[in-house]
Chains A and B, each alone.
Chain A
């Protein structure tokens, strides 16, 4: 019997979204456990930011084999920007890259992000969603900066979680 390609693609697409949904919610389930275990003396935001650091550090290590200076600083920044945008896409977002006006300046723009919706289901403050994303990306850059011997910074300029319609992160080389 011939395969129905449309049906198969639809099945795969649904499965991918279902997997992303479960991964996002699992994060917030674990966050709840961690906050409960941490006790009343610990702020949930601190727990979330620590988790973001752990995630970021590990993701940063996985990026190192792909870091490449053969096309110079601009090429390197594009490779890194693509990796960071790709990470967001894997997480369920729609992210694109744009070159900044300054050399080596990259903007990562995310116009769709499911994380605030998942957070809302678990009663997590939106500011925590924005700060966690920023902290995770900063942690990713820690090892990358040392590895490539180049001071890298990333900062969040706009955030969907803050009701600003899109998330914009500026990746640049610190002077």
Chain B
């Protein structure tokens, strides 16, 4: 009889009726888990530089534990060697000594307080490790493809055996700390995956050779960890079913399937199905990849093994995992990015509050931060990584109720509006448009997944309505309106103004909004002026229509405001769509048949075009003087303050919403 940790009865919840497969129990090894939901281990760089657990790390996990409503909740993977070769992130938790057990226990306890199943993950980062030391380790010495990673050297046989023992010792510490499930990480270029891959394992001893040989160290880890864990503690492993390393002669799909079979034979109680390495040339989880693109891999895995298969990877909404679990093509829905964006996501699904979910926009800012030694943050969720600070994460009601006028119903204004209203203020949102969403109304039309950005507005609209925000759409705020209303506080979230260029009165100059909404007549040869995200989105939008597009901008490189984990996608798409980009340039002149580009060092050349799109933005100074002269408390947020990106708009809105 499988062990039950906490009793959960979902029968009265609307979500359990709508998604019956997500909320039915499953046996994993000798443990009965009440639902099919797992918060998968995710690095967040919130722990101490010495590997000890911090209050921030505990608070972050507590929120995610609330979210899984009794399901599996995994803390970030721990590194296990004192030499720190296996440490891949500056804030990664450690488990190389018993002294770390009390801190780890705080995490297990926080998860148990929410009546969820606590998962512990063993993660030697191998090829992408050694973040704090000079060099890392691996099965063979293979030069790094990406310079961001440290050089790594081949482990001796003794070092391989020591590594296996480190996994065993760390697993025992995890069990002692009170965790319920043990997981070995073998993904994305970490040490276990390095042993498995033909790309990184060129050994000819018992730890190399064919796929069985390359799995030998993994088998020893699984068996060693199983031996040290209590019998009712399942031991699982995360393994790549597609390495996406064909370009460097990585494993074949057949070899990867073989790894699943060998892991099962070795005693693994479940497998988390993953794909891609950090050095793969293919994207995996960014929003240019369609939702559900990879879930067929779970089906392939289930055709070859008999243990439960778990999977994440662009499964952001409950419908698809529900369907796949029902078809027995998947057993457990893993969630990473979606619960960074909204830690309570599955809880809201269960409670029938799906419209209140703040969806991940798959920008990968969270990853970009980690690789730059910064604490995790979320593009769309301002509270992420601030869970330990209640004044920020759970702001108190306002001491004095104010009448707040918010000018602009874009993402900055809406975020500010519902937060301020939740705190007790009377909030009125004005917009001269007759719809909410601001510039996102047009930005959402850019290709490669930008329609997903609109989920931010959908969420904010619901939250505004729930909080009692009053909307005045189709109403332009003028000096007279301000004088009539005389609110206590005005928040200017009016969006940017677009920079004019000499000759802007020409018929061929059109606005970004008109182009992206299809109102402007656009010729066949187009110059897009401004090389930040709006310009790139516009250029791709037009290139997709078959236009010849040239992107010209003042920033040193195109996409200065796009985080590096997504920017490389845009660079590839621009190349694929034949877009020519001139950065660090100005427009010297607009002529009858085109423009003259001028480089920072004075060179000039003509570009023929029949249309010029203005996307270069400036702060919006409108209304500021009036508000100041009336002595009204004023805040300026979003692009009106400084033109940046959606994330800055949302974060600005939140920060002012909790201050008013």
Residues of A within 8 A of B (CB): 1-3, 5, 8-9, 11-12, 60-61, 64-65, 67-70, 143, 146-149
Question: Can you list 26 A-B contacts with CB-CB less than 8 angstroms, sorted by A residue number?
Answer: A1-B589, A2-B591, A2-B596, A2-B606, A3-B588, A3-B606, A5-B605, A5-B606, A8-B605, A12-B603, A60-B143, A61-B143, A61-B144, A64-B143, A65-B145, A65-B146, A67-B145, A68-B247, A68-B248, A69-B248, A70-B246, A146-B141, A146-B142, A147-B142, A147-B145, A149-B249
Q: B597 CB to closest chain A CB, in angstroms?
A: 9
A17 to B591, CA, bound (A): 31
Which residues from chain B contact A5 at a C-beta distance below 8 Å?
Answer: 605-606
Residues on A with C-beta less than 8 A from B605 are 3, 5, 8-9
**Complex Cα spacing A147 to B151, Å:** 12
- B604 A67 Cβ-Cβ under 8 A: no
Distance in Å: Cβ of A65 to nearest Cβ of chain B: 6
Chain A nearest Cβ from B423, distance in angstroms:
49
Interface string of B275-315 (1 = CB under 8 A from A): 00000010000000000000000000000000000000000
- What are the nearest 4 A-B pairs in CB distance? A143-B143, A68-B247, A3-B604, A64-B145
Cβ of B202 under 8 Å from chain A: yes
Min CB–CB distance B564 → chain A (angstroms): 14
Q: Is the CB of A11 within 8 A of B249?
A: no
Cβ distance B8 to chain A, nearest Cβ, rounded Å: 48
Per DSSP, chain B at the interface is loop
CA distance A12 to B588 in the complex (A): 18
A68 to chain B, nearest CB (A): 4
Q: How far is the CB of A108 from chain B (nearest CB, A)?
A: 22
B246: nearest chain-A partner, CB-CB: A70
Q: Which residues of B contact A64 (CB under 8 A)?
A: 143-145
Residues of A within 8 A of B596 (CB): 2-3
Which of B587-622 touch A at CB < 8 Å? 588-589, 591, 596, 603-606
The complex places the Cα of A4 from the Cα of B484 at a distance, in Å, of 57
The verdict on B575 contacting chain A, using a C-beta distance below 8 Å, is: no
Residues of chain B lying within 8 A (CB to CB) of residue A1? 589
B147 contacts chain A at the CB level, 8 A cutoff? yes
With a CB–CB cut-off of 8 A, which chain A residues contact B603?
A: 8, 11-12
A1 to B502, CA, bound (A): 13
- Contacting residues, chain B, for A147 (C-beta < 8 A): 142-143, 145, 248
Task: Give me 15 other A-B pairs in contact (C-beta within 8 A), A148-B248, A148-B249 excluded.
Answer: A2-B596, A2-B606, A3-B588, A3-B596, A3-B604, A3-B606, A8-B605, A11-B603, A64-B143, A64-B144, A65-B146, A69-B246, A70-B246, A143-B143, A146-B142
In the bound complex, how far is the Cα of B606 from the Cα of A9, in angstroms? 11
Interfacial chain A residues near B604, Cβ < 8 Å: 3, 8
A173 to chain B, nearest CB (A): 14
The distance in angstroms between the C-alpha atoms of A11 and B604, with both chains bound, is: 10
Q: Which A residues touch B143, using CB under 8 A?
A: 60-61, 64, 143, 146-147
Residue of B nearest to A15 (CB): B603
Which residues of A have CB within 8 Å of B281?
Answer: 68
Binding site for A on B (CB under 8 A): 141-147, 199, 202, 246-249, 281, 588-589, 591, 596, 603-606
Looking across the interface, which residue of chain A has its beta carbon closest to that of B591? A2
Give the A-B contact count at a CB cut-off of 8 A.
Answer: 52
Residues in A neighbouring B146, C-beta threshold 8 A: 65
Q: Cβ of A68: which chain B residues have Cβ within 8 Å of it? A: 247-248, 281
Per the bound structure, the CA–CA distance linking A67 and B249 in Å amounts to 11
In the assembled complex, the Cα of A64 lies from the Cα of B247 at a distance in Å of 11
Cα(A69)–Cα(B198), bound, Å:
14
B569 to A: closest C-beta gap in Å = 15
B249, chain A: closest CB distance, angstroms: 5
In the bound complex, how far is the Cα of B247 from the Cα of A70, in angstroms?
5
CB of A38 to closest CB in B, whole Å: 27
| Min CB gap A54→B, angstroms | 15
Is the Cβ of A61 less than 8 Å from the Cβ of B606? no
**In the complex, A2→B589 CA distance in Å?**
8
Which residues on A sit within 8 Å (CB–CB) of B141?
A: 146
Contact B147 A149 (CB under 8 A): no
Give the chain A neighbours of B199 by CB distance below 8 A. Answer: 149
In the complex formed, the residue of A with least CB distance to B199 is A149
Smallest CB-CB separation from B279: which chain A residue? A65
A148 to B248, CA, bound (A): 6
Interchain nearest-CB distance for A42 vs B (Å): 28
- Give CA–CA (A69, B246) in the complex, Å: 7
How many angstroms between the C-alpha atoms of A65 and B144 in the bound complex?
9
CA distance A147 to B142 in the complex (A): 5
**A70 to B202 alpha-carbon distance, docked (Å):** 20
Residues on the A chain within 8 Å of B202, using CB: 149
Which residue of A is nearest B601, CB measured? A15
Q: How far is the CA of A11 from the CA of B248 in the complex (A)?
A: 42
Bound CA–CA A149/B200 (angstroms): 9
Beta-carbon contact of B142 and A67 below 8 Å: no
Known: A3-B596, A143-B143. A69 touches B606 (CB 8 A): no
Known: A2-B606, A8-B605, A12-B603. A67 touches B147 (CB 8 A): no
Q: Which residue of B lies closest to A144 (CB)?
A: B143
B residues in contact with A60, CB < 8 Å: 143
Residues in B with CB closer than 8 Å to A9 are 605
Query: Shortest distance in angstroms between A161's beta carbon and chain B's nearest beta carbon?
Result: 30
Complex: A3 Cα to B247 Cα, angstroms: 45
Min distance, Cβ A148 to any Cβ of chain B, angstroms: 7
Query: Is the Cβ of A69 less than 8 Å from the Cβ of B147?
Result: no
- Tell me the nearest residue of chain B to A149, going by C-beta: B202
CA A9 to CA B141, docked complex, whole Å: 47
Q: Give the complex CA separation of A8 and B601 in angstroms.
A: 12
The answer to whether A67 touches B606, judged by C-beta atoms less than 8 angstroms apart, is no
B247 neighbours in A (Cβ, 8 Å): 67-70
Bound complex: CA A5 to CA B607 (Å): 10
CB of A104 to closest CB in B, whole Å: 15
Residue of B nearest to A4 (CB): B604
B595–chain A nearest beta-carbon distance, Å: 10
B247 smallest CB distance to A (angstroms) = 4
Chain B residues near A148 (CB-CB < 8 A):
248-249
* Closest beta carbon of chain B to A11's beta carbon, Å: 6
Q: How far is the CA of A3 from the CA of B249 in the complex (A)?
A: 50
- In the complex formed, the residue of A with least CB distance to B147 is A61
Nearest-neighbor residue (CB-CB) of A11 within chain B: B603
Instruction: Output the nearest chain B residue to A12 by Cβ-Cβ distance.
Output: B603
- Bound Cα distance A155, B515 (Å): 56
- Separation in Å of the B248 CB from the closest CB of chain A? 6
Identity of the chain B residue whose Cβ is nearest the Cβ of A70 in the assembled complex: B247
Is B145 a contact partner of A69 (Cβ separation < 8 A)? no
Complex CA distance for A99 and B248, rounded to whole angstroms: 23
**Contact of A69 (CB < 8 Å), options: B144, B249, B589:** B249
The residue on A at minimum CB distance from B604 is A3
Min distance, Cβ A175 to any Cβ of chain B, angstroms: 18
